[in-house]
Amino acid sequence: MSKPLRGADIVMRTLQRAGHDRIFTLSGNHIMSLFDAALGTGPDLIHTRTEAAAVHMADAWGRLTGQPGIAMVTGGPGHANAAAALFTAQGQESPMVLISGHTETTQLGRGGFQELRQVEMAAPTTKASWMAISAETLGVEVARALRIASSGRPGPVHLSLPSDLLDAAVADNQIVWPEPADFVGQPVALGDAAADAVLRLLATAQRPLLIAGPLLANASGRALLARIEAALAVPTVISESPRGFNDATLGAFADVVRRADLIILLGKALDFTVKFGEAPAVDPACRFIAIDPEAVWLERAVHAKGDLLAFGCIADTRPAAEALVRRGAGLGLGNPDWLAEARACFTSRPAAWATLASSTPGKLHPMEVFRALKPYVERDPDTVLICDGGEFSQWGQSVLPLLPRRMINGVAGSIGSSLPMALAARVAEARAPVFAVLGDGTFGFHMAEFETAVRRNLPFVAVVGNDARWNAEHNLQIRDYGADRAHGCELLPARYDRVVAALGGHGELVERPDQMAPAIERALASGKPACVNVMTESIAAPIVRRE
Protein backbone atom coordinates (compact mmCIF):
# COMPACT_ATOMS: atom_id res chain seq x y z
CA MET A 1 0.00 0.00 0.00
CA SER A 2 1.33 3.44 -0.92
CA LYS A 3 2.45 5.77 1.83
CA PRO A 4 -0.09 8.56 2.44
CA LEU A 5 0.77 11.93 0.98
CA ARG A 6 0.50 15.20 2.82
CA GLY A 7 -1.70 17.89 1.36
CA ALA A 8 1.48 19.88 0.72
CA ASP A 9 2.85 17.02 -1.40
CA ILE A 10 -0.36 16.96 -3.44
CA VAL A 11 -0.03 20.70 -4.13
CA MET A 12 3.59 20.51 -5.22
CA ARG A 13 3.06 17.39 -7.36
CA THR A 14 0.13 19.09 -9.07
CA LEU A 15 2.29 22.11 -9.92
CA GLN A 16 4.96 19.74 -11.18
CA ARG A 17 2.44 17.95 -13.43
CA ALA A 18 1.42 21.34 -14.84
CA GLY A 19 5.04 22.19 -15.71
CA HIS A 20 5.57 24.90 -13.08
CA ASP A 21 9.19 24.39 -12.14
CA ARG A 22 9.78 27.95 -10.86
CA ILE A 23 7.95 29.47 -7.93
CA PHE A 24 8.42 33.04 -6.65
CA THR A 25 8.08 32.93 -2.91
CA LEU A 26 8.97 34.07 0.60
CA SER A 27 8.98 31.58 3.46
CA GLY A 28 6.71 31.73 6.50
CA ASN A 29 5.03 29.53 9.10
CA HIS A 30 1.93 28.61 7.12
CA ILE A 31 3.77 27.33 4.05
CA MET A 32 6.76 25.51 5.57
CA SER A 33 5.16 22.21 4.62
CA LEU A 34 5.12 23.37 0.99
CA PHE A 35 8.82 24.21 1.17
CA ASP A 36 9.46 20.75 2.61
CA ALA A 37 7.35 19.09 -0.10
CA ALA A 38 9.32 20.98 -2.75
CA LEU A 39 12.34 18.85 -1.85
CA GLY A 40 10.51 15.96 -3.44
CA THR A 41 9.51 17.70 -6.68
CA GLY A 42 12.49 19.99 -7.19
CA PRO A 43 11.04 23.32 -8.31
CA ASP A 44 13.30 26.35 -8.24
CA LEU A 45 12.09 28.38 -5.25
CA ILE A 46 13.14 31.94 -6.02
CA HIS A 47 12.72 33.56 -2.63
CA THR A 48 12.42 37.31 -2.40
CA ARG A 49 12.72 39.99 0.27
CA THR A 50 9.03 40.98 0.29
CA GLU A 51 5.88 39.12 -0.63
CA ALA A 52 4.80 41.89 -3.01
CA ALA A 53 7.99 41.31 -5.00
CA ALA A 54 7.08 37.64 -5.41
CA VAL A 55 3.73 38.67 -6.91
CA HIS A 56 5.37 41.18 -9.26
CA MET A 57 7.79 38.47 -10.40
CA ALA A 58 4.94 36.04 -11.04
CA ASP A 59 3.15 38.82 -12.93
CA ALA A 60 6.19 39.41 -15.17
CA TRP A 61 6.58 35.68 -15.75
CA GLY A 62 2.96 35.45 -16.90
CA ARG A 63 3.35 38.40 -19.26
CA LEU A 64 6.58 37.16 -20.82
CA THR A 65 5.85 33.44 -21.12
CA GLY A 66 2.05 33.24 -21.28
CA GLN A 67 2.25 30.54 -18.58
CA PRO A 68 0.69 31.53 -15.26
CA GLY A 69 3.34 32.72 -12.83
CA ILE A 70 3.20 31.22 -9.35
CA ALA A 71 3.67 33.30 -6.20
CA MET A 72 3.64 31.46 -2.87
CA VAL A 73 3.49 33.33 0.45
CA THR A 74 2.59 32.75 4.05
CA GLY A 75 -0.73 33.74 5.58
CA GLY A 76 -1.75 36.82 7.50
CA PRO A 77 0.81 39.62 7.05
CA GLY A 78 2.53 37.74 4.22
CA HIS A 79 -0.73 37.56 2.30
CA ALA A 80 -1.50 41.20 3.11
CA ASN A 81 1.85 42.28 1.67
CA ALA A 82 1.28 40.20 -1.46
CA ALA A 83 -2.33 41.22 -2.05
CA ALA A 84 -1.51 44.84 -2.84
CA ALA A 85 0.64 43.79 -5.80
CA LEU A 86 -2.23 41.88 -7.41
CA PHE A 87 -3.72 45.16 -8.63
CA THR A 88 -0.87 45.65 -11.11
CA ALA A 89 -1.29 42.14 -12.51
CA GLN A 90 -5.04 42.59 -12.77
CA GLY A 91 -4.68 45.80 -14.76
CA GLN A 92 -2.34 44.16 -17.25
CA GLU A 93 -4.41 40.96 -17.61
CA SER A 94 -1.44 38.91 -16.49
CA PRO A 95 -2.00 35.20 -15.80
CA MET A 96 -0.72 34.32 -12.33
CA VAL A 97 -1.73 32.45 -9.20
CA LEU A 98 -1.12 33.62 -5.64
CA ILE A 99 -1.00 30.65 -3.26
CA SER A 100 -1.24 31.84 0.33
CA GLY A 101 -0.90 29.84 3.50
CA HIS A 102 -3.78 30.26 5.92
CA THR A 103 -4.85 29.79 9.52
CA GLU A 104 -5.89 26.22 10.34
CA THR A 105 -9.52 25.45 9.61
CA THR A 106 -10.00 24.30 13.23
CA GLN A 107 -9.05 27.80 14.43
CA LEU A 108 -11.19 29.88 12.09
CA GLY A 109 -13.26 32.44 13.92
CA ARG A 110 -11.44 31.71 17.18
CA GLY A 111 -8.55 34.14 16.85
CA GLY A 112 -6.15 31.71 15.19
CA PHE A 113 -2.52 32.61 14.52
CA GLN A 114 -2.43 35.39 11.91
CA GLU A 115 -6.06 34.77 11.07
CA LEU A 116 -7.20 37.15 8.34
CA ARG A 117 -10.07 37.33 5.87
CA GLN A 118 -7.70 36.60 3.03
CA VAL A 119 -10.28 35.56 0.46
CA GLU A 120 -12.21 38.81 0.83
CA MET A 121 -9.00 40.85 0.81
CA ALA A 122 -7.82 39.44 -2.52
CA ALA A 123 -11.24 39.26 -4.22
CA PRO A 124 -11.37 42.81 -5.65
CA THR A 125 -8.05 42.40 -7.47
CA THR A 126 -8.44 38.86 -8.79
CA LYS A 127 -10.57 36.90 -11.21
CA ALA A 128 -11.36 34.46 -8.42
CA SER A 129 -10.40 34.10 -4.76
CA TRP A 130 -11.24 31.20 -2.46
CA MET A 131 -10.00 28.95 0.33
CA ALA A 132 -9.55 25.21 -0.01
CA ILE A 133 -11.64 23.14 2.40
CA SER A 134 -10.48 19.57 1.71
CA ALA A 135 -7.00 18.03 1.66
CA GLU A 136 -8.17 15.33 -0.77
CA THR A 137 -9.06 17.84 -3.49
CA LEU A 138 -6.10 20.23 -3.17
CA GLY A 139 -4.76 19.17 -6.57
CA VAL A 140 -8.08 19.94 -8.23
CA GLU A 141 -8.15 23.34 -6.53
CA VAL A 142 -4.69 24.19 -7.84
CA ALA A 143 -5.64 23.09 -11.36
CA ARG A 144 -8.79 25.20 -11.18
CA ALA A 145 -6.75 28.26 -10.17
CA LEU A 146 -4.37 27.76 -13.10
CA ARG A 147 -7.28 27.31 -15.52
CA ILE A 148 -9.09 30.45 -14.43
CA ALA A 149 -5.90 32.53 -14.49
CA SER A 150 -5.21 31.70 -18.14
CA SER A 151 -8.77 31.57 -19.53
CA GLY A 152 -10.83 34.29 -21.18
CA ARG A 153 -9.37 37.62 -20.11
CA PRO A 154 -6.34 36.33 -18.16
CA GLY A 155 -5.56 37.68 -14.73
CA PRO A 156 -4.51 36.91 -11.17
CA VAL A 157 -6.21 34.24 -9.08
CA HIS A 158 -5.86 33.70 -5.34
CA LEU A 159 -6.04 30.37 -3.48
CA SER A 160 -5.67 30.16 0.32
CA LEU A 161 -4.44 26.84 1.74
CA PRO A 162 -5.04 26.27 5.48
CA SER A 163 -1.97 24.81 7.14
CA ASP A 164 -3.83 21.85 8.67
CA LEU A 165 -4.91 20.75 5.17
CA LEU A 166 -1.31 20.99 4.00
CA ASP A 167 -0.15 18.86 6.95
CA ALA A 168 -2.96 16.30 6.64
CA ALA A 169 -2.03 12.78 5.50
CA VAL A 170 -4.20 11.54 2.64
CA ALA A 171 -4.36 7.92 1.49
CA ASP A 172 -3.61 7.37 -2.17
CA ASN A 173 -7.11 6.10 -2.92
CA GLN A 174 -8.64 9.24 -1.42
CA ILE A 175 -6.68 11.78 -3.48
CA VAL A 176 -8.62 13.39 -6.31
CA TRP A 177 -5.96 14.16 -8.90
CA PRO A 178 -6.82 16.66 -11.66
CA GLU A 179 -7.09 15.49 -15.25
CA PRO A 180 -5.07 17.28 -17.99
CA ALA A 181 -8.22 19.08 -19.15
CA ASP A 182 -8.69 20.54 -15.67
CA PHE A 183 -5.66 22.81 -16.12
CA VAL A 184 -6.79 24.65 -19.26
CA GLY A 185 -10.01 26.33 -20.33
CA GLN A 186 -11.79 26.04 -23.65
CA PRO A 187 -11.18 29.17 -25.75
CA VAL A 188 -14.26 30.98 -27.03
CA ALA A 189 -13.86 31.49 -30.76
CA LEU A 190 -15.25 34.26 -32.95
CA GLY A 191 -17.55 32.49 -35.39
CA ASP A 192 -17.28 33.08 -39.12
CA ALA A 193 -20.64 34.87 -39.24
CA ALA A 194 -19.59 37.23 -36.45
CA ALA A 195 -16.20 37.86 -38.05
CA ASP A 196 -17.88 38.63 -41.37
CA ALA A 197 -20.25 41.06 -39.64
CA VAL A 198 -17.26 42.94 -38.21
CA LEU A 199 -15.57 43.01 -41.61
CA ARG A 200 -18.71 44.37 -43.31
CA LEU A 201 -18.81 47.23 -40.83
CA LEU A 202 -15.11 47.82 -41.35
CA ALA A 203 -15.73 48.15 -45.09
CA THR A 204 -18.10 51.07 -44.44
CA ALA A 205 -15.57 53.07 -42.38
CA GLN A 206 -13.19 55.72 -43.71
CA ARG A 207 -11.06 56.05 -40.60
CA PRO A 208 -11.25 52.83 -38.55
CA LEU A 209 -9.06 52.14 -35.54
CA LEU A 210 -8.53 48.88 -33.64
CA ILE A 211 -7.66 49.20 -29.95
CA ALA A 212 -6.52 46.01 -28.22
CA GLY A 213 -6.22 45.30 -24.51
CA PRO A 214 -3.08 44.63 -22.45
CA LEU A 215 -3.31 40.89 -23.12
CA LEU A 216 -1.58 41.48 -26.46
CA ALA A 217 1.26 43.57 -24.99
CA ASN A 218 3.86 40.87 -25.57
CA ALA A 219 5.87 39.47 -28.45
CA SER A 220 3.20 37.15 -29.83
CA GLY A 221 0.41 39.69 -29.30
CA ARG A 222 2.26 42.48 -31.09
CA ALA A 223 2.99 40.11 -33.97
CA LEU A 224 -0.69 39.23 -34.15
CA LEU A 225 -1.68 42.90 -34.36
CA ALA A 226 0.87 43.43 -37.13
CA ARG A 227 -0.84 40.64 -39.07
CA ILE A 228 -4.22 42.37 -38.58
CA GLU A 229 -2.81 45.61 -39.97
CA ALA A 230 -1.36 43.79 -42.97
CA ALA A 231 -4.57 41.87 -43.70
CA LEU A 232 -7.16 44.58 -43.03
CA ALA A 233 -5.22 47.86 -43.54
CA VAL A 234 -6.57 49.17 -40.23
CA PRO A 235 -4.29 50.90 -37.70
CA THR A 236 -3.92 48.95 -34.46
CA VAL A 237 -2.70 49.95 -31.01
CA ILE A 238 -2.55 48.44 -27.54
CA SER A 239 -4.11 50.48 -24.76
CA GLU A 240 -2.10 49.51 -21.67
CA SER A 241 -1.25 52.85 -20.05
CA PRO A 242 -3.18 54.70 -17.33
CA ARG A 243 -2.48 57.84 -19.37
CA GLY A 244 -4.84 56.51 -22.02
CA PHE A 245 -4.85 58.63 -25.17
CA ASN A 246 -1.81 60.49 -23.81
CA ASP A 247 0.25 57.29 -23.67
CA ALA A 248 3.81 58.48 -24.35
CA THR A 249 4.49 55.36 -26.41
CA LEU A 250 1.88 56.25 -29.03
CA GLY A 251 2.79 59.80 -29.98
CA ALA A 252 -0.22 61.74 -31.22
CA PHE A 253 -2.61 58.89 -30.37
CA ALA A 254 -5.26 61.34 -29.15
CA ASP A 255 -5.39 62.98 -32.58
CA VAL A 256 -6.00 59.63 -34.28
CA VAL A 257 -8.79 58.73 -31.86
CA ARG A 258 -10.47 62.10 -32.32
CA ARG A 259 -10.72 61.53 -36.09
CA ALA A 260 -11.73 57.85 -36.05
CA ASP A 261 -15.22 57.02 -37.32
CA LEU A 262 -15.18 53.36 -36.21
CA ILE A 263 -13.34 51.97 -33.18
CA ILE A 264 -12.96 48.23 -32.73
CA LEU A 265 -12.36 47.26 -29.11
CA LEU A 266 -10.56 43.90 -29.28
CA GLY A 267 -10.45 42.58 -25.75
CA LYS A 268 -10.25 46.18 -24.56
CA ALA A 269 -12.66 47.36 -21.90
CA LEU A 270 -14.56 50.60 -22.52
CA ASP A 271 -12.96 52.17 -19.45
CA PHE A 272 -11.25 55.37 -18.32
CA THR A 273 -8.20 54.75 -20.53
CA VAL A 274 -10.37 55.25 -23.62
CA LYS A 275 -12.36 58.08 -21.98
CA PHE A 276 -15.37 55.72 -21.92
CA GLY A 277 -15.70 56.43 -25.64
CA GLU A 278 -17.11 59.86 -24.92
CA ALA A 279 -16.75 63.27 -26.58
CA PRO A 280 -14.71 65.39 -26.90
CA ALA A 281 -11.96 62.75 -26.86
CA VAL A 282 -13.97 60.68 -29.36
CA ASP A 283 -16.12 61.98 -32.23
CA PRO A 284 -19.76 61.93 -31.01
CA ALA A 285 -20.76 60.10 -34.20
CA CYS A 286 -18.03 57.44 -33.95
CA ARG A 287 -19.37 53.89 -34.04
CA PHE A 288 -18.00 51.05 -31.92
CA ILE A 289 -17.46 47.32 -32.21
CA ALA A 290 -16.82 45.44 -28.97
CA ILE A 291 -15.32 41.94 -28.94
CA ASP A 292 -14.70 40.89 -25.35
CA PRO A 293 -14.15 37.67 -23.39
CA GLU A 294 -16.40 38.87 -20.57
CA ALA A 295 -20.12 39.56 -20.75
CA VAL A 296 -19.92 42.26 -18.10
CA TRP A 297 -17.72 44.50 -20.26
CA LEU A 298 -19.85 43.86 -23.33
CA GLU A 299 -22.94 44.84 -21.38
CA ARG A 300 -21.26 48.04 -20.21
CA ALA A 301 -20.40 48.91 -23.79
CA VAL A 302 -24.03 48.34 -24.81
CA HIS A 303 -25.23 50.57 -21.99
CA ALA A 304 -22.65 53.30 -22.66
CA LYS A 305 -22.84 53.53 -26.45
CA GLY A 306 -26.41 52.47 -27.25
CA ASP A 307 -27.09 52.64 -30.98
CA LEU A 308 -23.47 53.65 -31.64
CA LEU A 309 -22.42 50.12 -30.68
CA ALA A 310 -22.72 48.69 -34.17
CA PHE A 311 -21.78 45.16 -33.16
CA GLY A 312 -20.77 43.30 -30.01
CA CYS A 313 -20.05 39.70 -29.12
CA ILE A 314 -18.27 37.50 -26.61
CA ALA A 315 -15.04 35.89 -27.83
CA ASP A 316 -11.52 35.40 -26.55
CA THR A 317 -9.09 37.99 -27.85
CA ARG A 318 -6.52 35.87 -29.67
CA PRO A 319 -8.98 33.53 -31.42
CA ALA A 320 -11.03 36.56 -32.42
CA ALA A 321 -7.98 38.26 -33.91
CA GLU A 322 -7.08 35.12 -35.84
CA ALA A 323 -10.62 34.87 -37.22
CA LEU A 324 -10.52 38.47 -38.45
CA VAL A 325 -7.22 37.84 -40.22
CA ARG A 326 -8.42 34.59 -41.74
CA ARG A 327 -11.74 35.96 -43.00
CA GLY A 328 -10.48 39.39 -43.98
CA ALA A 329 -7.27 38.63 -45.85
CA GLY A 330 -7.51 39.46 -49.53
CA LEU A 331 -10.77 41.43 -49.29
CA GLY A 332 -9.11 44.77 -49.94
CA LEU A 333 -10.50 46.35 -46.80
CA GLY A 334 -9.31 49.43 -45.02
CA ASN A 335 -8.00 52.78 -46.13
CA PRO A 336 -4.24 52.69 -46.85
CA ASP A 337 -3.98 56.48 -46.72
CA TRP A 338 -5.61 56.58 -43.30
CA LEU A 339 -3.39 53.73 -42.10
CA ALA A 340 -0.28 55.63 -43.17
CA GLU A 341 -1.54 58.83 -41.55
CA ALA A 342 -2.34 57.08 -38.27
CA ARG A 343 1.04 55.33 -38.24
CA ALA A 344 2.75 58.68 -38.77
CA CYS A 345 0.87 60.06 -35.76
CA PHE A 346 1.88 57.13 -33.57
CA THR A 347 5.56 57.62 -34.41
CA SER A 348 5.44 61.41 -34.42
CA ARG A 349 7.80 63.19 -32.04
CA PRO A 350 8.55 66.94 -31.94
CA ALA A 351 11.65 67.88 -33.91
CA ALA A 352 12.81 70.00 -30.96
CA TRP A 353 13.31 66.85 -28.90
CA ALA A 354 16.45 66.03 -30.87
CA THR A 355 18.30 68.89 -29.21
CA LEU A 356 16.74 68.93 -25.74
CA ALA A 357 19.46 69.25 -23.12
CA SER A 358 19.80 70.10 -19.48
CA SER A 359 20.28 73.67 -18.36
CA THR A 360 21.31 72.59 -14.85
CA PRO A 361 24.94 71.72 -14.10
CA GLY A 362 25.36 68.22 -12.71
CA LYS A 363 22.00 67.02 -14.07
CA LEU A 364 20.73 65.52 -17.33
CA HIS A 365 17.48 66.14 -19.17
CA PRO A 366 15.58 62.82 -19.50
CA MET A 367 16.02 63.04 -23.28
CA GLU A 368 19.79 62.97 -22.85
CA VAL A 369 19.46 59.81 -20.79
CA PHE A 370 17.35 57.97 -23.34
CA ARG A 371 19.26 59.12 -26.39
CA ALA A 372 22.28 57.43 -24.82
CA LEU A 373 20.35 54.30 -23.78
CA LYS A 374 18.54 53.77 -27.08
CA PRO A 375 21.35 52.04 -29.05
CA TYR A 376 21.88 49.55 -26.22
CA VAL A 377 18.18 48.72 -26.06
CA GLU A 378 18.06 48.26 -29.85
CA ARG A 379 21.15 46.06 -29.99
CA ASP A 380 19.36 42.73 -29.42
CA PRO A 381 15.82 41.95 -30.67
CA ASP A 382 15.21 39.79 -27.59
CA THR A 383 15.98 42.59 -25.13
CA VAL A 384 13.50 42.94 -22.28
CA LEU A 385 12.67 46.55 -21.39
CA ILE A 386 10.67 47.50 -18.31
CA CYS A 387 9.41 51.07 -17.90
CA ASP A 388 8.02 51.89 -14.48
CA GLY A 389 7.02 55.04 -12.68
CA GLY A 390 5.89 58.51 -13.55
CA GLU A 391 7.42 61.35 -15.52
CA PHE A 392 10.94 59.98 -16.10
CA SER A 393 9.83 56.64 -17.48
CA GLN A 394 7.26 58.38 -19.71
CA TRP A 395 10.16 60.02 -21.54
CA GLY A 396 11.65 56.56 -21.92
CA GLN A 397 8.43 55.15 -23.31
CA SER A 398 8.22 57.98 -25.83
CA VAL A 399 11.82 57.70 -27.05
CA LEU A 400 12.88 54.07 -26.70
CA PRO A 401 11.71 51.56 -29.32
CA LEU A 402 8.51 49.61 -28.67
CA LEU A 403 10.21 46.26 -28.20
CA PRO A 404 8.24 43.01 -28.53
CA ARG A 405 9.08 42.23 -24.90
CA ARG A 406 8.52 45.60 -23.29
CA MET A 407 6.57 45.79 -20.03
CA ILE A 408 5.19 48.86 -18.28
CA ASN A 409 3.58 49.35 -14.89
CA GLY A 410 0.27 49.38 -16.73
CA VAL A 411 -3.38 50.30 -16.55
CA ALA A 412 -3.43 50.09 -12.75
CA GLY A 413 -1.12 53.12 -12.61
CA SER A 414 0.74 51.56 -9.68
CA ILE A 415 4.50 52.01 -9.53
CA GLY A 416 7.34 50.03 -8.00
CA SER A 417 7.13 46.69 -9.83
CA SER A 418 10.07 47.08 -12.20
CA LEU A 419 12.93 45.73 -10.08
CA PRO A 420 11.18 42.43 -9.22
CA MET A 421 10.00 42.21 -12.82
CA ALA A 422 13.57 42.57 -14.04
CA LEU A 423 14.57 39.59 -11.92
CA ALA A 424 11.76 37.47 -13.33
CA ALA A 425 12.69 38.60 -16.84
CA ARG A 426 16.24 37.43 -16.28
CA VAL A 427 14.94 34.07 -15.07
CA ALA A 428 12.87 33.77 -18.26
CA GLU A 429 15.58 35.20 -20.57
CA ALA A 430 19.05 33.84 -19.91
CA ARG A 431 20.96 35.68 -22.65
CA ALA A 432 19.55 38.98 -23.92
CA PRO A 433 19.91 42.24 -21.98
CA VAL A 434 17.30 43.20 -19.40
CA PHE A 435 16.83 46.92 -18.72
CA ALA A 436 14.60 48.57 -16.12
CA VAL A 437 13.86 52.28 -16.45
CA LEU A 438 12.48 53.90 -13.30
CA GLY A 439 12.45 57.02 -11.18
CA ASP A 440 14.04 57.44 -7.77
CA GLY A 441 10.72 57.30 -5.95
CA THR A 442 9.92 54.03 -7.69
CA PHE A 443 13.36 52.64 -6.88
CA GLY A 444 12.63 52.82 -3.17
CA PHE A 445 9.77 50.31 -3.25
CA HIS A 446 11.88 47.22 -3.86
CA MET A 447 15.55 48.20 -3.69
CA ALA A 448 16.21 45.23 -1.38
CA GLU A 449 15.51 42.90 -4.31
CA PHE A 450 18.98 43.74 -5.55
CA GLU A 451 20.11 41.36 -2.79
CA THR A 452 17.86 38.70 -4.32
CA ALA A 453 19.34 39.41 -7.75
CA VAL A 454 22.92 39.17 -6.46
CA ARG A 455 22.18 36.02 -4.46
CA ARG A 456 20.57 34.34 -7.48
CA ASN A 457 23.04 35.74 -10.05
CA LEU A 458 20.36 37.53 -12.06
CA PRO A 459 22.12 40.41 -13.84
CA PHE A 460 20.20 43.33 -15.30
CA VAL A 461 20.65 47.09 -15.63
CA ALA A 462 18.41 49.55 -13.79
CA VAL A 463 18.56 53.12 -15.11
CA VAL A 464 17.29 55.40 -12.35
CA GLY A 465 16.27 58.97 -13.04
CA ASN A 466 17.12 60.73 -9.80
CA ASP A 467 15.49 64.16 -9.50
CA ALA A 468 15.05 63.87 -5.72
CA ARG A 469 11.29 64.19 -6.05
CA TRP A 470 7.99 62.39 -6.46
CA ASN A 471 7.79 64.21 -9.76
CA ALA A 472 4.44 62.98 -11.09
CA GLU A 473 2.67 64.09 -7.92
CA HIS A 474 4.64 67.35 -7.86
CA ASN A 475 3.42 68.17 -11.35
CA LEU A 476 -0.17 67.24 -10.47
CA GLN A 477 -0.06 69.62 -7.55
CA ILE A 478 1.24 72.45 -9.73
CA ARG A 479 -1.38 71.76 -12.40
CA ASP A 480 -4.35 71.49 -10.07
CA TYR A 481 -3.48 73.88 -7.25
CA GLY A 482 -0.75 76.26 -8.46
CA ALA A 483 3.03 76.49 -8.19
CA ASP A 484 2.95 77.86 -4.66
CA ARG A 485 0.87 74.88 -3.46
CA ALA A 486 3.35 72.10 -4.32
CA HIS A 487 4.74 70.38 -1.24
CA GLY A 488 5.37 67.01 0.40
CA CYS A 489 7.06 65.51 -2.67
CA GLU A 490 10.74 66.06 -1.85
CA LEU A 491 13.29 63.24 -1.67
CA LEU A 492 17.03 63.16 -1.11
CA PRO A 493 19.43 62.93 -4.08
CA ALA A 494 20.49 59.58 -2.65
CA ARG A 495 23.39 57.48 -3.91
CA TYR A 496 21.37 54.49 -5.02
CA ASP A 497 24.41 53.28 -6.94
CA ARG A 498 26.23 52.87 -3.62
CA VAL A 499 23.27 51.03 -2.13
CA VAL A 500 23.43 48.50 -4.96
CA ALA A 501 27.20 48.18 -4.68
CA ALA A 502 26.85 47.54 -0.93
CA LEU A 503 24.43 44.69 -1.72
CA GLY A 504 26.99 43.12 -4.04
CA GLY A 505 25.89 44.62 -7.35
CA HIS A 506 27.44 47.18 -9.65
CA GLY A 507 26.80 50.91 -9.25
CA GLU A 508 27.37 53.91 -11.52
CA LEU A 509 26.76 57.61 -10.89
CA VAL A 510 26.05 59.83 -13.90
CA GLU A 511 26.08 63.63 -13.67
CA ARG A 512 27.02 64.60 -17.24
CA PRO A 513 25.74 63.42 -20.65
CA ASP A 514 29.20 62.19 -21.71
CA GLN A 515 29.22 59.80 -18.71
CA MET A 516 26.03 58.03 -19.74
CA ALA A 517 27.20 55.63 -22.46
CA PRO A 518 30.37 54.53 -20.62
CA ALA A 519 28.32 53.88 -17.49
CA ILE A 520 25.91 51.64 -19.42
CA GLU A 521 28.86 49.80 -21.00
CA ARG A 522 30.42 49.12 -17.61
CA ALA A 523 27.11 48.07 -16.11
CA LEU A 524 26.53 45.51 -18.86
CA ALA A 525 30.12 44.30 -18.74
CA SER A 526 30.01 43.79 -14.97
CA GLY A 527 27.76 40.76 -15.30
CA LYS A 528 26.08 41.84 -12.09
CA PRO A 529 22.75 43.40 -11.14
CA ALA A 530 23.57 47.03 -11.84
CA CYS A 531 22.23 50.48 -11.03
CA VAL A 532 23.01 53.49 -13.21
CA ASN A 533 22.01 56.35 -10.93
CA VAL A 534 21.46 59.38 -13.17
CA MET A 535 21.02 62.81 -11.64
CA THR A 536 18.26 64.42 -13.68
CA GLU A 537 16.29 67.60 -14.00
CA SER A 538 12.72 67.44 -12.74
CA ILE A 539 10.82 67.52 -16.04
CA ALA A 540 7.13 66.83 -16.63
CA ALA A 541 6.14 63.89 -18.81
CA PRO A 542 5.81 64.57 -22.54
CA ILE A 543 2.49 64.92 -24.37
CA VAL A 544 2.66 64.74 -28.16
CA ARG A 545 0.31 66.55 -30.51
CA ARG A 546 0.62 66.77 -34.29
CA GLU A 547 2.80 69.70 -35.34
DSSP string for residues in 218-278:
SHHHHHHHHHHHHHH---EEE---TTGGG-GGGSSHHHHHHH-SEEEEES--SSGGGGGG-
Rounded average pLDDT over 119-144: 98
The predicted structure's pLDDT at residue 18: 96
Which one-letter DSSP state was computed for residue 109? T
The predicted structure's pLDDT at residue 487: 87
Domain 351-535 annotated CATH 3.40.50.970: yes
Rounded average pLDDT over 291-317: 96
Two domains, one topology: 5-183 and 192-347: yes
**Looking at the predicted structure, is the pLDDT value of residue 65 above 70?**
yes
The predicted structure's pLDDT at residue 343: 96
The predicted structure's pLDDT at residue 484: 85
Q: What is the pLDDT of residues 353-371, one digit of tens each?
A: 999 999 999 999 999 999 9
Question: What does the domain layout of the chain look like in residue ranges?
Answer: 5-183, 192-347, 351-535
Q: What is the pLDDT of residues 459-473, one digit of tens each?
A: 999 999 999 998 888
The architecture in CATH of the region 5-183 reads 3-Layer(aba) Sandwich (3.40)
**Looking at the predicted structure, is the pLDDT value of residue 119 above 70?**
yes
The predicted structure's pLDDT at residue 380: 96
**Looking at the predicted structure, is the pLDDT value of residue 401 above 60?**
yes
The predicted structure's pLDDT at residue 152: 95
**Looking at the predicted structure, is the pLDDT value of residue 389 above 90?**
no
To the nearest whole percent, how much of the chain has pLDDT over 90?
91
**Looking at the predicted structure, is the pLDDT value of residue 332 above 90?**
no
**Looking at the predicted structure, is the pLDDT value of residue 1 above 60?**
no
The Cα–Cα gap between 49 and 447 comes to: 10
Domain topology for 192-347: Rossmann fold (3.40.50)
Q: What is the pLDDT of residues 173-212, one digit of tens each?
A: 999 999 999 999 999 999 999 999 999 999 999 999 999 9
The predicted structure's pLDDT at residue 149: 98
Burial 422-457 (b: 16+ CB within 10 A, else e): bbbbbbbbeeebbbbbbbbbbbebbbebbbbbbebe
**Looking at the predicted structure, is the pLDDT value of residue 25 above 90?**
yes
The predicted structure's pLDDT at residue 546: 60
- CB-based contact 177:118 (threshold 8 Å): no
- CB-based contact 57:48 (threshold 8 Å): yes
Rounded average pLDDT over 143-148: 98
> What mean pLDDT is reported for the chain?
95
**Looking at the predicted structure, is the pLDDT value of residue 404 above 70?**
yes
The predicted structure's pLDDT at residue 483: 84
Give residues with Cβ within 8 angstroms of 52, minimum separation 6.
81, 82, 84, 85, 420, 446
The Cα–Cα gap between 319 and 353 comes to: 40
Rounded average pLDDT over 261-280: 97
The predicted structure's pLDDT at residue 510: 98
Alpha helix (H) residue ranges in 379-444: 391-399, 418-428, 440-443
3 state SS of 307? helix
